[in-house]
Amino acid sequence: MKLNALLASLVVAGAGFAVPALAANTIGTVTTVSDEDWPYVVAYCEDLDGLTPTEAFEKQPSRYAELVTTTIQLSSITQSDCERAGLI
């Protein structure tokens, strides 16, 4: 019985370590966006919020934001990516 309790404790403890890996910043087809780039993603999604689909398609991020983000190309983010990520 003690062995089962020990194994159960290890499984529960191990599950706690796996959770942070699931908390990565993700959007669209990009699996991981760095913490440094994430505010630019959020700001771009806020820019897309409330636009018609045509306006959102034509909207381009600022040149500065596009240059400083190293883990994602902001222009690849769509309005529906932002919606699925819960940002708008």
Over the stretch 39-87, which tens digit does the pLDDT of each residue have? 999 999 999 999 999 999 999 999 999 999 999 999 999 999 999 999 9
Say if 7 falls within a structural domain: no
Count of domains for the chain: 1
The tokens for 41 are: 């993603």
Residue-number span of the structural domain to which 37 is assigned? 25-88
Quote the pTM value.
Answer: 0.71
Say if 6 falls within a structural domain: no
Split at pLDDT 50, 70, 90, the class of 8 is low
Cα 8 to the center of its chain, rounded Å = 32
Summarize the confidence of residues 15-35 as an average pLDDT: 70
Say if 3 falls within a structural domain: no
Say if 48 falls within a structural domain: yes
Say if 15 falls within a structural domain: no
Cα 25 to the center of its chain, rounded Å = 3
